[in-house]
Structure 1
Amino acid sequence: MTTSLLALVRDHAAVADHLRWPGEFDLSRTEHVEPVHLASGLRLEPFAGDGGGGTYFFCGEGGEGRPVLFADSEGGAALLAVGLPELLRLLLAAPWWRDCPNCTPEENAEAAAEYLEDEPELLADRDTVAAALGLACPTPAEALARLHRTATGIGREFDLIHTPEGTSYRPLIG
Structure 2
Amino acid sequence: MLAPPQVEAVAAALELSGERFVWCVRGPGVGEEKKVAVPEGFEERVKGRGVVVEGRLGKAAVLKHRAVAGFLTHCGWRSVMEGMAAGVKMLMWPMGAEQYVNARLVVEVGMGVGVCEGEDGVPNVEEMAKKLKEMVEMKGEKGKEIRRMAAAAAEEGGSSSDDLERMVKELCMMGRRGT
Task: Give the TM-score normalised by structure 1.
Answer: 0.29
Structure with bigger strand share is: 1
Q: Which has the higher contact order (CA 8 A, sep 6+)?
A: 1
Task: Give the TM-score normalised by structure 2.
Answer: 0.29
Pair member with larger Rg = 2
